[in-house]
Structure 1
Amino acid sequence: MRGIVIAALLCVALSGYGNIRLPRIISSNMVLQQRDSVKIWGWADPYEEVSVTPSWGPQTYKATGSRDARWEVKVATPAAGGPYTITIKGKNTIVLDNVMTGEVWICSGQSNMEMNAQKGLQDVKAELPSAHLHNIRFFHIPKTTAPYPQDDCDGQWAACDSITLQAFSAVAYFFGKRLSGELNVPVGLIGASWGGTAAEVWTPDSIVHNDPVLEQAAAKIIPSGMCPYQPGYAFNAMIAPVTPYAVAGAIWYQGENNTGAANTYKQLFTAMIDGWRAAWKKDFPFYFVQIAPFRYRVKNTGALLREAQLQSTAHYKTGMVVITDLVADTNDVHPANKHDVGLRLANLALADTYHRKGIPFQSPVFNSMRIRGHRATITFSHADKGLMIKGTTATEWMIAGEDQIFHPAEVAIDRHSVIVSSKMVKAPVAVRYGFRDAAMGNVFSREGLPLAPFRTDNWEVETE
């Protein structure tokens, strides 16, 4: 008992030497989500009084350090603007300056999200001389892992310029630049990506380990010397620390490293999305990129993964951009065109989240099939202005009968629908479009967005 009393007295005595501290994500140059109740938090001595005073209004927010030395306040943010200061006082004083309010997005995935000017991307290199964009701010989280969720991470907020842009995600930059320009607001981009990672690594480990199907799929991940493979390890160190930070939504570019278990990707991916939303306590929009055409070593695994991604769009407040036309070399898993990927993600967010009108943002997707005689008529969603072929003949269309043998098809566009047939198939049963790993079809909406690959059957697909 005496030892407990002495320990308690020492704790109280030592507390007089503490200073209030902030996580790295709360710093000068940050962008706070506009018109929201955002959390400002940190650490202080137990029962230490902390005050937070933003310069945009007269109100001061107060908190008291908890027994475990934590404190937090909820601060009401104004409409987009700045720069502001935020003064935080306890036993010491911290002044955050050059703070903006605007739109904040988390940008994550594997190598195609990670790639930047330092990786040789010409489209973002061309931006460097004119990249001094005060209204775009980056928070880059370096590659880190942890077996348990962390409450802080490395990184610092920085305004976009010719130096900071070089190491930041090109997709995220082009996304943010388009949003900032169209909405005329500051945009904060939190970058957390790692080439070669599977989605399990970005998913809270409890989600994987509490589901036998997902746990079995995770066990098949082949460890690499370049990246983690344990479920939750990237989430714990690179996502969990920023989940108290208010965001508008997330963009995601990943999937190539899950092609070996495409049959469980929809279940995993949608569970990951739910896990992130639960961690943020917000059902924010989640927009992602369908993986690009590429010649995978195991046949049809890329086609099946793209199918799983398309199926995932049925999940609440999600959206997908198709990029089958943005590939110059199907032997390169890293397509060089990141400008148009970011632009399509931004257009999706502008139309779906910010309700801007007149922006083409959805690729046509399969809706229904009707068979009459030897012809199959396919209809599509998001093709209100009609379809078109780029080139003289539609490619990547296949048709099969009950024998499940697919033959190249003849195609005719009937404004909103496609009529498919083949002399080799007298009684059609199934149609496929672009259902190969490296397929680059040439049917588009009249607005110029590529038709999403699809199949009408659910037959077993050869993956040898």
Structure 2
Amino acid sequence: MKKGLLYLLVVCQMAFGHSVELRAQAALKLAPAFSDHMVLQRDQPIVIHGTAPAGEKVAVSFSGKTQSAAADDGGKWKVVFSAKRSGGPLQVRVSSGGNELLVNDVLIGDVWLCSGQSNMDFALKNAVGGKDEVAAGHFSPNIRLLKYASTAPGGNVAWDPAMLEKVNRSEVYRGEWKTADAASVAAFSAVGYYFGKQIVAETGVPIGLIQVALGGSPTESWIDSATLAQDGRFAGMLHDWRHSPQVMEWVKQRGGENTLRATSPTQRHTFMPGYNFKAGIAPFTAFPVKGVIWYQGESNVHDVALHAALFEKLVTSWRKHWNAALPFYFVQLSSIDRPHWPEFRDSQRQLALRIAGTGMAVSHDLGDSLDVHPTRKMEIGVRLAKLALHDVYGKKITASGPVLRKAYRDGQSIMLHFGSARALRTLDDKPLQGFELLTTDGRRFAADAAIHRKTISITVPPNLKVTSVLYAYQPFSRANLCNEARLPASTFSISIPKSDL
């Protein structure tokens, strides 16, 4: 009898605990994008969403109006308010079943997503001039920061069982909106911060920056698994990514080190295909944004063609998930003394020309021959901002460096004509360097190049059969061509038809 009562008591306790857990899981919540000090996207319908007990009515009050919705069977709810112009501060009030949530100090402006790997994650406090920027304390109240950061330890660390389980549940990212102050700015992406600072200075529009970046992460981890599965080009990385030749060796090695203590045969990792989309990006796809800035590629440089396919898929899939033709501005990899980087930079240049609504900030002039994390981030953020200011905000500025338009022969010279320049010059006011000639037998020669306003002339030595002109094609390059705005020209290669030379 006593055993029966004891058993019944244990069962009741377990049931009670389970019901408490279910109620906790179903409690009224807002999605991760919503917290004090947030920015809502202007000029687009304002979508406010979250979770509540299934079937429960949720009322949301915002800017003098109230909208209601019932949580669906999965506990999800959303309401939509009409678009608003920039302004604030405002308050969001959410109530359901006697519970109430308040979101204070809400601005209406433009929201930019800042994503990629370690060079986007690179904190302002570690950048050249970053400590001075923080110490000066001149932070705009119109800049708001949401660092949605991974809690999984980086580096050669074997994750403990609790972290391994958290990774399996896709619960590694955390963060909330903050105003710009010394602490929040110092820890935020240097590239993202300088981008937002420049936009605010030029437009006066409140800018919200959402940082979702993870050091070492490959491109495929930021694309949803269903999209990857629909394209046969990526089949080799989906089922056993840790042993796939399509995945960079370093990425696979780090994955093995972090999961060394795993006991589950289906253990997940933050570098695996689709992971960072599900855990870090999907929570924001119902949250309207103005556009994306992206700094990534170091973990895909081993296969230039595969990266090109992945990057194009990344852009098109994110636009599909947000149901918007998002402007997408990205950073070309810098120069460093490693193989494949010139070809990768040239591929990125071609991607910017091929994919509509994108733009590329050149960075080879800011590279470090030995360090994959160059520290001059202010210039990168400003260059990205110039692209957005020109394309999105309609500013009549020079937004990029010289862009190669055509090449032709003129006697014993090759002539290269550039756009996005009123007059060509060099970054350091020294003689032009960085041009090479590639011959039919695969040899490379430094080219004798000269500037003629918007054209470069290259003298070809007699009897030299040239197939291509290369620029900034050394892994670590000191190429110095720029335009009147001192914005550098990209790494490029261009073929010279046999009929010409």
TM-score using structure 1 length: 0.88
Q: 1:243 to 1:144 in 2, by over 3 A?
A: farther
d(CA) in 2 for partners of 1:280, 1:77:
16
Deviations 1:288-339 (A, max 9, x none): 000000011xx3x001111111111120211001122223x32121111111
User: 1:319 is matched with which residue?
Assistant: 359
Give unmatched runs, 5+ long, in structure 1.
1-9, 460-464
- CA contact under 8 A between 1:376 and 1:421: conserved in structure 2? yes
The partner residue of 2:330 within 288, 293, 308 is 288
User: 2:184 is matched with which residue?
Assistant: 164
User: 1:63 is matched with which residue?
Assistant: 69
Which secondary structure does the structure 2 equivalent of 1:244 belong to?
coil
Shift of 1:149: 9.6
Which secondary structure does the structure 2 equivalent of 1:134 belong to?
coil
Q: 1:427 to 1:374 in 2, by over 3 A?
A: farther
User: 1:238 is matched with which residue?
Assistant: 280
User: 1:450 is matched with which residue?
Assistant: 488
d(CA) in 1 for partners of 2:214, 2:23:
39
- CA contact under 8 A between 2:199 and 2:385: conserved in structure 1? yes
Q: 1:54 to 1:454 in 2, by over 3 A?
A: same
Shift of 1:231: 0.5
User: 2:437 is matched with which residue?
Assistant: 399
Give unmatched runs, 5+ long, in structure 2.
1-17, 153-165, 259-268
d(CA) in 2 for partners of 1:425, 1:17:
76
User: 2:425 is matched with which residue?
Assistant: 388
2:36 is equivalent to residue 28 of structure 1: yes
Q: 1:216 to 1:363 in 2, by over 3 A?
A: farther
Shift of 1:110: 0.9
- CA contact under 8 A between 2:143 and 2:208: conserved in structure 1? yes
Which secondary structure does the structure 1 equivalent of 2:348 belong to?
helix
Higher mean alpha-carbon deviation, 180-189 vs 101-110, is at: 180-189
The AA in structure 2 aligned to 1:209 is: A
Shift of 1:183: 1.1
The partner residue of 1:124 within 117, 130, 151 is 130
The partner residue of 1:112 within 119, 135, 138 is 119
d(CA) in 2 for partners of 1:61, 1:197:
40
Which secondary structure does the structure 1 equivalent of 2:217 belong to?
coil
Shift of 1:406: 2.0
Q: 1:228 to 1:66 in 2, by over 3 A?
A: closer
Shift of 1:19: 4.3
The AA in structure 2 aligned to 1:417 is: T
2:384 is equivalent to residue 378 of structure 1: no
d(CA) in 2 for partners of 1:263, 1:376:
28
d(CA) in 2 for partners of 1:84, 1:131:
24
d(CA) in 2 for partners of 1:110, 1:16:
34
2:226 is equivalent to residue 188 of structure 1: no
Shift of 1:264: 1.7
User: 1:278 is matched with which residue?
Assistant: 320
User: 1:96 is matched with which residue?
Assistant: 103
Number of residue pairs matched by the alignment: 440
Q: 1:148 to 1:79 in 2, by over 3 A?
A: farther
User: 2:143 is matched with which residue?
Assistant: 136
Higher helix share: 2
Higher mean alpha-carbon deviation, 245-254 vs 127-136, is at: 127-136
Which secondary structure does the structure 2 equivalent of 1:29 belong to?
coil
- CA contact under 8 A between 2:469 and 2:496: conserved in structure 1? no
d(CA) in 2 for partners of 1:27, 1:34:
17
The AA in structure 2 aligned to 1:386 is: A
User: 1:5 is matched with which residue?
Assistant: none
Q: 1:43 to 1:228 in 2, by over 3 A?
A: closer
Which secondary structure does the structure 2 equivalent of 1:429 belong to?
strand
The AA in structure 1 aligned to 2:384 is: L
Which secondary structure does the structure 2 equivalent of 1:412 belong to?
strand
d(CA) in 1 for partners of 2:169, 2:203:
34
The AA in structure 1 aligned to 2:102 is: V
The AA in structure 1 aligned to 2:42 is: Q
Shift of 1:73: 0.8
Shift of 1:44: 1.7
Deviations 1:329-372 (A, max 9, x none): 32121111111100111111011111111x22112122211123
User: 1:341 is matched with which residue?
Assistant: 380
- CA contact under 8 A between 1:149 and 1:235: conserved in structure 2? no
Identity of aligned residues (%): 31
Q: CA RMSD in A?
A: 2.6
Shift of 1:147: 8.1
Q: 1:16 to 1:200 in 2, by over 3 A?
A: closer
The AA in structure 1 aligned to 2:393 is: Y
User: 2:294 is matched with which residue?
Assistant: 252
TM-score using structure 2 length: 0.82
Deviations 1:203-240 (A, max 9, x none): 11233333332334762322114684311111111111
User: 2:4 is matched with which residue?
Assistant: none
The AA in structure 1 aligned to 2:70 is: T
The AA in structure 2 aligned to 1:104 is: V
Shift of 1:17: 11
Shift of 1:46: 2.6
d(CA) in 2 for partners of 1:342, 1:308:
21
- CA contact under 8 A between 1:149 and 1:241: conserved in structure 2? no
Shift of 1:34: 1.0
Q: 1:171 to 1:242 in 2, by over 3 A?
A: same
- CA contact under 8 A between 1:407 and 1:422: conserved in structure 2? no
- CA contact under 8 A between 2:30 and 2:50: conserved in structure 1? yes
d(CA) in 2 for partners of 1:115, 1:267:
26
